[in-house]
Amino acid sequence: MNPVYTDSKWGIIDYFIKQKEMGRIKHLGFSCHGSTELLKEFLDGYGDKMEFCQIQLNYLDWTLQDAKAKYELLTERNIPVWVMEPVRGGKLAAVDKENEEKLKELRPEESVASWAFRWLQGLPNVKMVLSGMSSMEQMIDNVHTFEQENPLSEKEEETLMQLAETMKDSLPCTGCRYCCDGCPKGIDIPKMIGYYNEMKVAPSFNIGMSLDAVDKEHLPSACIKCGKCKNSCPQNIDITSALEELTDMVGKLPSWADICRQREEEAKAILR
């Protein structure tokens, strides 16, 4: 969440609260791509004014992006959860053949995509699920899925979580932060490795947005390859190479203008 939104200089949140008091806004909520710590900070300041929160939530990001902690925090604050990216931009709708066969054995009548939605049905504080669809076939499948609630059994959920682990191509960072103590550039290395792991699963424009909020001298590109971080890493991660690769991956992300054009074309395709 950009700190500009909560800066009293601009009064952005206070403006929206006033509009609701005046009846111009019926229900006031917010969307968050930030960390659990940032979400908690916002809730501490404005949680009593918010009626819902939209977060990226799916069975892969449950651990990859620590969506579990965000879901539990919102539930603890009695704030309903709205879900974006329930199938991770389509990644969870098309798994490899081996995993697809495992899912079909348990639920032959259900599509791969439906598993992501059925998993969400097991989270009682999920009140809204937003799913992007690019074909009539996908829409029909989603309608069929939501005609009835049929959450996963314990065995099915275990299978799904095992599947999620096979989709990760990640570095084994434990967040101990030993690497940060001697970094001459003050880079938040565990956070950057988290971004790296997310990008390895699926390139995301959101990572670029998150890095835009980081001071230039603390970006992964600021690394001077001194090697102090690797020497202090209990997991022996080649951190300098990871930071260099992250910089390269983010540099290849499409611009916001490109994304807007792509979404416009997708919308036109749906309307044809």
Using one digit for the tens of pLDDT, what is the confidence trace for 111-136?
Answer: 999 999 999 999 999 999 998 888 89
**pLDDT tens digits, 155-181:** 999 999 999 988 887 788 888 999 998
Sign of CA dihedral 106, 112, 117, 119: positive
Q: Spell out where the chain has E strands.
A: 30-32, 53-56, 81-84, 126-129
In this predicted structure, which of 19-28, 84-93, 246-255 has the lowest mean pLDDT? 246-255
How distant is the alpha carbon of residue 182 from its chain centre?
A: 30
| DSSP state letters, 31-75 | EE-S-HHHHHHHHHHHGGG-S-EEEE--TTHHHHS-HHHHHHHHH
Helix (H, G, I), strand (E, B) or coil at 133: coil
pTM of the model: 0.73
Q: Do the beta carbons of residue 92 and residue 69 sit within 8 Å?
A: no
